[in-house]
Amino acid sequence: MTGKKLTASALRRTLRIIRPHLRRHTWLIIGGMAALLADVVFRILEPWPIKIAVDAVTAALGAQIAPTFGLDTGVGTTLAVVAIGLAVIVGGRAAANYTSTICFALVGARVATQLRSRVFDHVQSLSLRYHSKASIGDTSQRLVGDIGRLQEVAVTAGLPLVGNVITLAVLLVVMVVLDPVLSAIVLATAGVYGLLSKAATPKITKASRSTRKGEGRLVGSAAEALGAIRVVQAYGLEKTVARDFADGNERALKAGVRARRLAAGLERSTDVLVGISQALVLAFGGWQVLRGAMSPGDLVLFLLYLKIAMKPLRDMAKYTGRIARAAASGERIADLLDEPVEIADAPDAVTMGPVCGDVVFNQVTSTDGHGRP
């Protein structure tokens, strides 16, 4: 709970430092959003040619189904039109996706450039009191590494996350219009998945963190043993040291296996969940087709939509983890920007005009190193 609250506040602070830079790129952002929306629309349209083709073919084989989209011009023409349509949709989706990726990558790069310059200027204006205390390595890491990660994650996780959420919302509406019962199955699957991943994710995070910690300790113990190698070799202590190292080694690797087991468990239970919901859609959908409420193409369409809906859900956990780590980077940058500038101009300061004059040393004495004037 507290972890989540921390992330939320870090995310708010991160957005606050980024927001002023976004305004200059309004057109690029609007273009990116438009391309993103086009991408979603094409994604939703993609399975339709397959549906129409299946319906046309089965109707041609003599099945009794209501004609869809008034394509009564003969099956051959329908197939050709549908194939071309599919190619156009896929091409459009690729173009839209490419455009949105590049637009947002450009925005990300430009905002990062400006933010880095702003932070650099701020750091340069800080007093020497700050600079004597602060670590140069840490500050330059914040300037380059943390801002770089922020940009990277915004483009490769934040953007797809937004796209996924929009896709899921639109998909839900389309499915409810097509068939409410089947949509309920899909929705229930998504809900159960959400619960599963909410329960498993913290455990996975904890296990992989303890793996990393164990590795860190292991590096420490190896370095210690190697640093004392003279003593170890002189007294023949190699076996004792090796035993200690092996203990830590085994512990770290057990933690690693545990993390992998948890992650695999989550992935596999997701697969089972999707499988069960596919089976339900297949059974109910088949029955709907027999009742005449759906065409065979609609059944295929629903199965494809189920797959399309599950991918964003599965990615969600991955993206949110990365965004939480980026928010931590954002907070480190915000901390740096919040460092007060101690030597600041007073609000009523006047600009210093050209200055001329001499520095005169008048009756100034100074002692040398031995106290003599």
Shortest CB 12 distance to a second copy, Å: 25
Question: Counting contacts by CB under 8 A, is residue 334 touching a second copy?
Answer: no
Which 3 state secondary structure label does DSSP give 367?
Answer: coil
The answer to whether residues 336 and 167 touch, using CB atoms and an 8 Å cutoff, is: no
Number of C-beta neighbours around residue 331 at 10 A = 20
Nearer to a second copy, 166 or 301 (CB): 301
Question: Counting contacts by CB under 8 A, is residue 205 touching a second copy?
Answer: no
Q: Which residue has the tokens 């490769």?
A: 156
Question: Counting contacts by CB under 8 A, is residue 105 touching a second copy?
Answer: yes
Question: Counting contacts by CB under 8 A, is residue 109 touching a second copy?
Answer: yes
Question: Counting contacts by CB under 8 A, is residue 161 touching a second copy?
Answer: no
Q: Within positions 272 to 331, which residues make up the interface with a second copy, using CB under 8 A?
A: 272, 274-276, 278-280, 282-283, 286-287, 289-290, 296, 299-300, 303
The answer to whether residues 65 and 59 touch, using CB atoms and an 8 Å cutoff, is: yes
Question: Counting contacts by CB under 8 A, is residue 148 touching a second copy?
Answer: yes
Question: Counting contacts by CB under 8 A, is residue 155 touching a second copy?
Answer: yes
Nearer to a second copy, 26 or 140 (CB): 140
Shortest CB 325 distance to a second copy, Å: 17
Question: Counting contacts by CB under 8 A, is residue 223 touching a second copy?
Answer: yes
Q: In angstroms, what CA-CA distances link 257 with 210, 211, 219, 253, 261?
A: 11, 9, 19, 6, 6
Only one of the segments 27-35, 164-172, 253-261, 352-360 lies at the binding site for a second copy (rule: CB under 8 A); that segment is 253-261
Question: Counting contacts by CB under 8 A, is residue 158 touching a second copy?
Answer: no
Question: Counting contacts by CB under 8 A, is residue 61 touching a second copy?
Answer: yes
349: which DSSP letter?
Answer: P
Half-sphere exposure in the Cβ direction for 107 (13 Å, CA) = 28
The answer to whether residues 242 and 233 touch, using CB atoms and an 8 Å cutoff, is: no
Nearer to a second copy, 1 or 272 (CB): 272
The span from the CA of 133 to the CA of 238, in Å, is 42
Shortest CB 20 distance to a second copy, Å: 18
Shortest CB 158 distance to a second copy, Å: 14
Of 10, 36, 101, 159, the one binding a second copy (CB under 8 A) is 101
Question: Counting contacts by CB under 8 A, is residue 181 touching a second copy?
Answer: no
Nearer to a second copy, 215 or 339 (CB): 215
The span from the CA of 230 to the CA of 236, in Å, is 10
Shortest CB 185 distance to a second copy, Å: 12
Shortest CB 265 distance to a second copy, Å: 7
Q: Within positions 118 to 137, which residues make up the interface with a second copy, using CB under 8 A?
A: 120-121, 123-125, 128, 131, 136-137
Q: Which residue has the tokens 């809900």?
A: 191
Of 15, 30, 94, 341, the one binding a second copy (CB under 8 A) is 94
Shortest CB 64 distance to a second copy, Å: 5
Torsion-angle region of 304 (φ positive above 0: left; ψ -120 to 50: alpha; else: beta): alpha
